[in-house]
Structure 1
């Protein structure tokens, strides 16, 4: 079973395997910190996504590469956004999406899809079914990251959907470690949603 899962790594450069494992460790830390509504979600996430930006470029998953670069940028934005306070009161606590944010999310999803399709078409990368899936996942994760930076509980729903789709995609591409990472991400995301939901309910009491 282990040989079946990880046999593809025998032809990989050692440094790529080390980088992937390092990124996974920081990725798991980042998702756990997000679950706990902890500001360390962002610095750990920056390390994770910075490494994956490079690796995904090497693996020719352009959509996911772009989203990881976007994660890096949005992590700095979220880091700033989460720390904003007025008289020691957090300005942007956990909340649900507003009507305007729903419209913005839809627009961001559509624009992301169009942009990634254009990139894949220009570079002639629609050569495998994973390229089409990567395009969809990129749109889902773009919106999810934007909502997380704004501390909206709905971000967890998008992470769960995107993670579930990513598990078979990365396995099919031969990146078993990353596929397992997304499986763990999915589990943590479910608990993250439940924990944030509990926080919202406590505020109403």
Structure 2
């Protein structure tokens, strides 16, 4: 057991204390945001915005360009999602949970392909094809870009994309040395499963409250 703990804390041996504290705070807020998402609660966005802002700073410190781009995108999608979720469809009801339309599926494919191309160009410009993780980063970035767009629009299928991206991210972040973040993705996988089940039960049901 001591070998496990030694390995765990060794990953943070040369990391400044404030970075470690920020990662823990970002992880806690990220988990809260994911939980609020499962609950269909508008608090997903204030917690998520602060969490992603923290991770943009941390990832810039580590030089993890792909991950930084993902979190910057999360930040902008959180602003967009906050607007969509609080928009009323009539005098009393807010935007309900629905499934993707044919048009939205086409847009999802476009987002996925465009993201792959965008990240490829960025990595080429900054010469980031130095590890196998760069290729995995490109894939997870595209997956999460689609997931966050669908989440912002309150589409059930966002959980399926999140589940796939979260599973891939667990070993990826372990490898990168962001151990707390890797543990976060383990919990994200669990929340993704329960989130999908919870949202499926509430499909197309008019919502009068955003604080469930």
> Which of the five TM-score ranges fits, normalised by the shorter chain?
over 0.9
Partner of 2:114: 111
Q: Indicate the SS of the match to 1:10.
A: coil
Residue 201 of structure 1 and its aligned partner are, at CA, apart by 8.2
What is the CA–CA distance in structure 2 between the aligned matches of 1:132 and 1:37, rounded to whole Å?
A: 33
TM-score, normalisation: structure 2 = 0.92
What is the CA–CA distance in structure 2 between the aligned matches of 1:41 and 1:173, rounded to whole Å?
A: 27
Judge conservation of contact 1:78–1:150 (CA < 8 Å) in 2: yes
Judge conservation of contact 2:22–2:54 (CA < 8 Å) in 1: yes
What is the CA–CA distance in structure 2 between the aligned matches of 1:128 and 1:121, rounded to whole Å?
A: 13
Structure showing greater relative contact order (alpha-carbon pairs closer than 8 Å, 6 or more residues apart): 2
Deviation sequence 1:20-40 (CA, Å, 0-9, x none): 001001000000000000000
Partner of 1:88: 92
Segments of structure 2 that go 5 or more residues without pairing to the other structure are: 207-212
Match of residue 186, structure 1, among 189, 208, 211: 189
Segments of structure 1 that go 5 or more residues without pairing to the other structure are: none
Partner of 1:70: 73
Judge conservation of contact 1:61–1:131 (CA < 8 Å) in 2: no
TM-score, normalisation: structure 1 = 0.95
Q: Indicate the SS of the match to 1:192.
A: helix
Residue 202 of structure 1 and its aligned partner are, at CA, apart by 7.2
Residues paired across the two proteins, number: 202
Q: Verify: 1:147 aligned to 2:150, yes or no.
A: yes
